[in-house]
Amino acid sequence: MLPQIPTVPLNNGVQMPVLGFGVFQVPAAETERAVSDALAAGYRHIDTAAAYQNEEAVGRAIASSGIPRDELFITTKLWVADAGEENAKRAFETSLRKLGLDVLDLYLIHQPFGDYYGSWRAMQDLHRQGLIRAIGVSNFYPDRLVDLIDHNDVVPAVNQIETHPFFQRTADQTLMTELGVQIESWGPLGQGRDDLFTNPVLTAIAEAHGKTVAQVVLRWLIQRGVVVIPKSVRPERMAENLDVFDVQLSDDEMARIATLDTGASTAFDHHDPASVHWLGTARFD
């Protein structure tokens, strides 16, 4: 029996599964099998991006799954090099073709750089045409998120950001909640850095519940109201990551995990000029 994954309503009423499957850094040659395994395990929310260079493989897995389209929630993202009103429309058409879809569930601006205002105008238009069910952003810090909202018609439905026990983003989440933007975590397991899987606080809580550290972290995020998209290429890990809906962390356990916050990214500094330059000039054609 496949797990029943709860959904959360976005600000336009679209229902988004609270747990999905991410394919960041999954090589294109492995992606079709990985996504097929994930769908077989019960995942119905798949997250990819043009920059991951594996949209076609995701599309093949979707097509061969036999799962009705209305049971799936598919996300992809617009890269910086394709920013701007006309560029974004062309990039969207390319992504849709690679995925083999007629309608996309969620389209995100991948990074807050380049002409993302032009991109947002294009995405608003595509949304009005019914080609995208919901539009959002990724990696937007509060100042850029507020600025985008203040000067456009559609409030982003989602902001996908780095969120995990060592970088918890609680103030950012509070603001997003006030604005009606759903927080979604990329790298929910901190990409395994800083000895997350052997952290004594997390391991003690995991042992108390008969769960793994990964399951505790995913459950902690979901209880905070954060949508999660863990990645794995191993079927047993995929199944493990789905098995988080039969446990409830106590207020004390949630508070203990809260003490692990360092307030700093473990992956990428979006305020570092050299990093911003790299993101703004990188191409993934």
Domain count, the chain: 1
Tell me if 129 is assigned to some domain: yes
Tell me if 1 is assigned to some domain: no
**Alpha carbons 108 and 134: distance in angstroms, whole number:** 9
- The tokens describing 151, both together, are 């000067």
- Mark the ranges of the chain whose per-residue pLDDT is less than 70: 285
Looking at residue 284, its pLDDT comes to 79
Looking at residue 158, its pLDDT comes to 98
Q: How many residues comprise the chain?
A: 285
Tokens 């985008």 found at: 148
Residue 19 in contact with residue 222, Cβ under 8 Å? yes
Tell me if 32 is assigned to some domain: yes
Looking at residue 38, its pLDDT comes to 98
Looking at residue 199, its pLDDT comes to 97
Tell me if 3 is assigned to some domain: no
Tell me if 274 is assigned to some domain: yes
Tell me if 5 is assigned to some domain: no
Q: What angle do CA 145, 151, 152 make, to 5 degrees?
A: 90
**Alpha carbons 66 and 64: distance in angstroms, whole number:** 6
110 marked among binding-site residues? yes
**Alpha carbons 105 and 43: distance in angstroms, whole number:** 15
**Alpha carbons 7 and 30: distance in angstroms, whole number:** 28
**Alpha carbons 223 and 203: distance in angstroms, whole number:** 18
CATH number at residue 221: 3.20.20.100
The pTM of this model reads 0.96
Range of the domain at 265: 10-281
Query: Exposed e or buried b for every residue in 70-96, given b needs 16+ CB within 10 A?
Result: eebbbbbbbbbbbbbeebbbebbeebb
Our answer to whether residue 52 is catalytic in this structure is yes
Tell me if 168 is assigned to some domain: yes
Number of H helices, E strands in the chain: 11, 10
AA identity, residue 281:
T
**Alpha carbons 237 and 231: distance in angstroms, whole number:** 9
Tell me if 4 is assigned to some domain: no
Looking at residue 128, its pLDDT comes to 97
Q: Which of 43, 52, 107, 116 is catalytic?
A: 52
CA atoms within 13 A on the CB side of 89: 10
